[in-house]
Chain A
């Protein structure tokens, strides 16, 4: 890879500033969809779509014969690390949505049932937050590589 330090700096910037609304790279403004989300499930939804968009662009870079093979391999390693994190995030968000539906359904039930549903929802929300945090770094790394040669 030609600019590892620049890619690392970008990845760090993205990881440490998830609330940044956008990033200016030269004349191109890179929007951060996650910053527009107001709920935890919207954040997960935005992150998954943003990750898919990054992989789609990485595919075009890899398919181009002008791209050096070493750079393609670096993208491959980053994708191999990030896609499992996205899978884990999807599992966590599914569990959270189920717990939220159970909590909504329990609103007419007795106090212990509401308490159980609230505890389950709280645990699911914490796990979803952890999955979001864990997914952001490897996804940001791949995104940083896609942008790496941008001056």
Chain B
């Protein structure tokens, strides 16, 4: 996925080099389209790398739960508190980031 996005971004950069060849009356519009496409690709790149990070984190959680299940270990209240603390911390950071994005 990341390779594909990188290739598309390179293609976009190559297309931008041909902008001077576009007739003057269409040049501004073509530049705008390329700019929008570059932004969309940039967002896709961020999301793709985040999906890869998410896959790593979910695999780690699964490994922990598998170990827990194999050992027949009971989940303690400390385990649950730690899980919920992680949720609250993540939620607070997310809302702060969203608020900052709205303010920009």
What residues of chain A have their CB less than 8 Å away from a CB belonging to chain B?
2, 25-39, 41-42, 44-46, 48-69, 71-73, 75-76, 79, 83, 86-87, 90, 93-94, 97, 143, 146-151
- B62 CB to closest chain A CB (Å) equals 4
A48 touches B77 (CB 8 A): no
Instruction: Say what secondary structure dominates the interface of chain A.
Output: helix
Which residues does chain B contribute within 8 Å of A39, judged by CB atoms?
69, 74-75
- Give the number of chain B interface residues (Cβ < 8 Å): 48
Given contacts A48-B80, A55-B91, contact A41 B74 (CB under 8 A): yes
Residue from A44, A50, A63, A83 in contact with B58 in the complex, judged by beta carbons closer than 8 Å: A50
Contact with B55, one of A28, A73, A93 (Cβ below 8 angstroms): A28
Bound complex: CA of A151 vs CA of B1, how far in Å? 7
Given A45-B79, A71-B43, A55 contacting B50 (CB threshold 8 A): no
Min Cβ gap A26→B in Å is: 5
